[in-house]
Chain A
Amino acid sequence: MKVPVSITINGRVCEHEVEPRTLLVHFIRDLAGLTGTKVGCDTSQCGSCTVLIDGVSAKSCTTLAAQADGAGITTIEGLGDGEQLHPLQESFWNKHGLQCGFCTPGMILASHELLRTNASPSEAEIRHGLEGNLCRCTGYENIVRAVRDAAGAMAQE
């Protein structure tokens, strides 16, 4: 039996009747049409599906859409303000924190969570905070630089 689900994604209400097994990531990608959020694994380990649920990071591949009924979701598409990139997006760009870009939406939202809980993290804290996000391209060095850069930029705001 399908269940009604209403989720506000990046400020826009999305209502659909879904099979209970529908994962939040599929609701976001297939029903809301926002394909910035990626699926990189079947085992809840890669972090490329990371979004914010009511402001707090979560793996959208390990959450049922029905569990998020009534919640507010932020995806990579909703992080910036129109044409204005979020400081994290700006820093990932400036510091070359990405190559193929597949991990980047999840990496940026996981970085958002890190800076929400720790506004000026050390290098070790950045690595610990991003432990749940895998990148097969960059070797992580520039990702760490990007997060540091963003923390600095956000502190000045």
Chain B
Amino acid sequence: MFAADFEYYRAGSVAEARELLAAHPGAKLLAGGHSLIPLLKLRLAAPAAVVDIGRIGELHGISNGGGALHIGALTTHAEIAASAAVNAGAEALAEAASQIGDPAVRNRGTIGGNVAHADPASDLPTVLAALGATFTVSGPDGERSLAAADFFQGMMATALGEHDILTAVNVPAAGSGSGSAYVKFSHPASRYAVVGAAAAVTGAGGTCAGASVAVGGATAVPVRCASVEAALAGRALSADAIAAAAAAAGSDFGDDLLGDVFASGEYRKAVAPVYVQRALTAAAERAG
């Protein structure tokens, strides 16, 4: 199908993109286009105008400062997967980016578009929730910073307003004695996550000084698994302790489970502990 007609504007800077959004109510931002264009083609979205931010240099690239990785919103999945800084400081993020879709999707899709789209089956929101990332947003009232719990608000719903632009995602860089991992059950046809689990573990000497775990795919927004985290804190990072803690993962999901013809909500909840266990095991190994 052909997309419905729209006006096309190309922004050269964040300031210009904000002006274009203000001048064209209902306009949609276009980054890599790998969520928006499929919707346009199926006419599930039909904005009057599209503002292409794909060439804004200031939104591109990865820098390291103040103990965190600052990842520009336009950085592609392929760039994140290949980044030495991300592979060193946020293994789970590199691991998730390398498993998104297929190579052509990773060459054009961006981290900003991925999280702004907030598909419950996406990989990056889950990882960013577990790693304690913050989101830098440029809006009409200036710049603000949001935690993952405040940024993701529901299925395909975020804290971004109509005139907001996500400029960067900031991920605390893991120190020595910490490790993280992402493990997913990918849908065999679409390769989106049926269930994805991200874990970060701090555990010098084999004792867990702190763990954070998030699961995506089963609920509208990624869930932080507080009961798994509590069950591991202060314990030896043995295979048994990890398995026992991971078994509690489903208890944090609440009642609003997502399911489809491929996998029911109950199934996703039942299978989640397996992926949490695998993610924790890999993260603990990297921490050790």
Residue numbers of A with Cβ under 8 A of B are 1, 3, 19-21, 23, 42-45, 47, 50, 56-59, 61-64, 66-67, 110, 113-114, 117, 129, 131-133
Contacts and interface: CB of A to CB of B under 8 A. Distances in A.
Given A45-B189, A45-B190, A113-B103, A66 B37 contact: no
Contacts of A21: 2-6, 40
B107 interface: yes
A114 B191 CA distance: 18
A67 B38 contact: no
A59 B6 contact: no
B106 to A, nearest CB: 9
Nearest to A69: B10
B33 A64 contact: yes
B4 A113 contact: no
Interface in B32-57: 33-34, 37-38, 40-42, 50, 52, 54
Given A44-B37, A66-B52, A131-B191, A59 B105 contact: yes
A62 B35 CA distance: 9
A3 B10 CA distance: 11
Given A3-B8, A20-B8, A64-B37, A42 B1 contact: yes
17 contacts: A1-B7, A21-B2, A21-B6, A21-B40, A23-B41, A42-B1, A42-B41, A44-B41, A45-B189, A57-B104, A62-B38, A64-B8, A66-B52, A67-B30, A67-B54, A132-B101, A133-B102
A132 B40 contact: no
Main secondary structure of the interface of A (DSSP, over half): mixed
B286 interface: no
A93 B102 CA distance: 25
B107 A57 contact: yes
B107 A58 contact: yes
B108 interface: yes
Interface of B: 1-8, 10, 30, 33-34, 37-38, 40-42, 50, 52, 54, 101-105, 107-108, 189-191
B8 A47 contact: no
A63 B102 contact: no
Contact of B6 (A20, A42, A114, A117): A20
Given A45-B190, A64-B8, A67-B33, A56 B107 contact: yes
Contacts of B2: 21
A5 B148 CA distance: 39
B206 to A, nearest CB: 32
B186 to A, nearest CB: 10
Contacts of B102: 47, 131-133
A131 B30 CA distance: 25
Given A64-B37, A131-B191, 9 more contacts: A20-B50, A23-B37, A44-B41, A56-B107, A59-B104, A59-B105, A62-B38, A67-B30, A113-B103
B192 to A, nearest CB: 11
A131 to B, nearest CB: 5
B6 A58 contact: no
Given A1-B7, A21-B5, A63 B190 contact: no
A114 to B, nearest CB: 7
B37 A132 contact: no
Contacts of B3: 21
Contacts of A132: 101-105
Contact of A62 (B5, B6, B37, B103): B37
